[in-house]
A and B are shown apart, each in its own frame.
Chain A
Amino acid sequence: MNRSFSAVNLIALTLGFAFLYIPILLVVIYSFNDSRLVTVWGGFSTKWYASLLGNRQLLDAAWVTVRIAFLSATIATVLGTLAAVALTRFRRFRGRTLFSGLAYAPLVMPEVIMGLSLLLLFVAIGLDRGFWTVTIAHITFTLCYVAVVVQSRLVTFDRSLEEAAMDLGCPPWKTFFVITLPIIAPAVIAGWMLAFTLSLDDLVIASFTTGPGATTLPMRIYSSVRLGVTPEINAVCTLLIGLVSIGVIIASLVQKRSIIERERAERLAAG
């Protein structure tokens, strides 16, 4: 029915999006506030951004965080893609039930438990805590997100494409790299981005598994936030929001363009 998109629906959407976006917008707006007080607008100013540049601790933490996120997302993407292939393509192998359980459980596992258990493992095997332990921890919990994203693409994958390649003489491993991987690439990239931002964002697991010299940005933000709202933190948050938004927007534009190009190509082919 045409009238089904009613005023009530419009109100629900408006309120919903207002609820989702107003708090974030306030952080962005107040990062340009000259006044230190939240409720007082002291005029537009970028001084908090300038003072960030002088904050050695914060910059170090940011650099550590980005390195961990890049490394862990990359390894997690490889492992997660393998896990997804194993789960969709190999219907029967010993321990498959346990494997699929392990692959899904971290999605819903409380972070405090993940953090605590990994810490105890690192202590038990005598691994010095720091950069590498956080990276390992992040690989472990983001791997599962990658696996889920890639798996959802693989289940709708047309197997006859692979069969066609092999029928034309392409060996299985080569088929995977020249046929399967290019087709599931958008899902793999999406998985990488998800893993990257999850790692960038994580406070709890990193707090448990980190050691001296590997303080991440969320940990720095958390310790300042506990002391109250400060304009510098607003500025950091705004920068992070900006970076992520640009990343997501570029990703969706690239995806949209590839869809448009494909449609155009299909139209040309049809016409």
Chain B
Amino acid sequence: MAEKRPNARWFVIALPYLWLAVFFLLPFLIVFKISLSTPTLAQPPYVPSFNSLAEIWEKARQFTIDNYAFLASDSLYYSSYFSSLRIAAISTLLLLLIGYPFAYAMARAPRAIQPMLLMLVILPSWTSFLIRVYAWIGILKPEGLLSAFLIWLGVIDQPLRIMNTETAVFIGIVYAYLPFMVLPLYASLEKLDPTLLEAAADLGCPPWKAFWLITVPLSLPGIIAGSFLVFIPAVGEFVIPDLLGGSDTLMIGKTLWREFFGNRDWPVASAVAVVLLLLLVLPIVVYQHMQARQVEAAR
């Protein structure tokens, strides 16, 4: 639509652009600014006033890195960050181990039923995330269904202690994020030309070896996309560690929530958010780059 009138074009671009600038970009700048404010100035209800340039300058002079120093001095914060990254990384690995065979089996299923399998994978993620996490409470708690079932089977005689541990968080993340891992894996495995595996076999390569030499390298885009797609949100996850994890399960999303709703310390909460964002900038940029490349490739 090269000859589209400039004002129509302007309208198409400007409307969503403005919206995102005001409600997505600007808030981050505010978070950044508040993270540099002193807590005393920022007692809620916090209403910054930008009445005059002089006042802004005055405010700017009061900027402080105290909040960041506080984050560095208190072990709660850096162990929260570390623990979030660790839990997200382990969960991503678990998701790959569980999701890959699942996606592989889907891609090898008869063509006719593949759309149905795909819908069955997506369907749970259309139902509420909160409900799906909640469902595990009834299963995992000591007097819950899993323990009762295993005791009935005679496998164990004491109720399992899974609820309120890190294990429960892993189970929750793997369960809630499985579709996001399976879908990109399936997309790349489904594109794999089966004659490549025939060619490998024809050239003397047994199936298990062909899997490592052909299937895995060619599904690498799916592996990377799936891993980023679950790792990034898992780092900032709040609901799962809050409902399934114990008080000793530290995750930064939970810490931020507590800092905000519990301690009402907005500058520190903002500083927590800024650092979390910095931690995720690299993976987010890598992921976006890949997304953009994929869209370009689809052209």
Whether B269 is near chain A, meaning CB under 8 Å from some CB there, is yes
Tell me the B141-174 residues at the A interface (CB within 8 Å): 141, 143-145, 148
Indicate whether A221 reaches chain B with its CB closer than 8 angstroms: yes
Give residues of chain B (67-107) contacting chain A, Cβ–Cβ below 8 Å: 98, 101-102, 104-106
Q: Does A240 contact B (CB under 8 A)?
A: yes
B218 within 8 A of A: no
> Which of the residues B3, B106, B178 comes within 8 Å of A20, measured between beta carbons?
B178
B139 touching A26, Cβ below 8 Å? yes
Interface SS of chain B: helix, strand, loop or mixed? helix
Supply 16 A–B pairs (Cβ within 8 Å), ascending by A.
Answer: A27-B138, A90-B12, A101-B288, A105-B24, A109-B236, A112-B276, A113-B277, A116-B260, A121-B30, A151-B295, A204-B239, A207-B261, A218-B130, A225-B130, A240-B131, A241-B131
Q: What's the nearest-Cβ distance from chain A to residue B87, in Å?
A: 13
The one of B17, B27, B198, B236 that contacts A120, using a Cβ cutoff of 8 Å: B27
Determine how close the nearest CB of chain B comes to the CB of A136; give it in whole angstroms. Answer: 6
Choose one: A108, A109, A147; the contact of B16 (CB below 8 Å): A147
* Given A38-B138, A155-B298, A121-B23 contact (CB < 8 Å): yes
B10-43 interface (Cβ within 8 A of A): 12-13, 15-17, 19-21, 23-28, 30-31, 34
> Is A252 in the interface zone, CB < 8 Å from B?
yes
Say yes or no for A124: interface residue by CB 8 A criterion: yes
User: Does chain B have a CB within 8 A of A149?
Assistant: no
A139 interface residue per 8 A CB criterion: yes
Given contacts A108-B229, A151-B295, contact A123 B46 (CB under 8 A): yes
Q: Which residue of B lies closest to A237 (CB)?
A: B131
B61 at the interface (CB under 8 A from A): no
What are the interface flags for A65-95 relative to B under an 8 Å C-beta threshold, 1 for contact and 0 otherwise?
0000000000000011011011001100101
Shortest C-beta distance, B143 to chain A (Å), equals 6
Residues of B within 8 A of A (CB): 1, 3-5, 8-9, 12-13, 15-17, 19-21, 23-28, 30-31, 34, 45-48, 98, 101-102, 104-106, 108-110, 117, 119-121, 123-124, 126-132, 134-139, 141, 143-145, 148, 175, 178-179, 182, 194, 197-198, 228-229, 232-233, 235-239, 243, 253, 256-257, 260-261, 266, 269-270, 273, 276-277, 280, 283-284, 287-288, 291-292, 295, 298-299
> Chain A: residues with CB nearer than 8 A to chain B?
1, 4-5, 8-10, 12-13, 16-17, 19-21, 23-24, 26-27, 30, 37-39, 79-80, 82-83, 85-86, 89-90, 93, 95, 99-106, 108-113, 116-118, 120-121, 123-124, 126, 136-137, 139-140, 143, 147, 151-152, 155-156, 162, 172-173, 175-176, 197, 200-201, 203-204, 207-208, 218, 221-222, 225-226, 228-229, 233, 237, 240-241, 244-245, 247-248, 252
Whether the pair A27, B135 counts as a contact (CB closer than 8 A) is yes
* Minimum Cβ distance to chain A for residue B216 (Å): 16
Q: Are A79 and B1 in contact (CB under 8 A)?
A: no
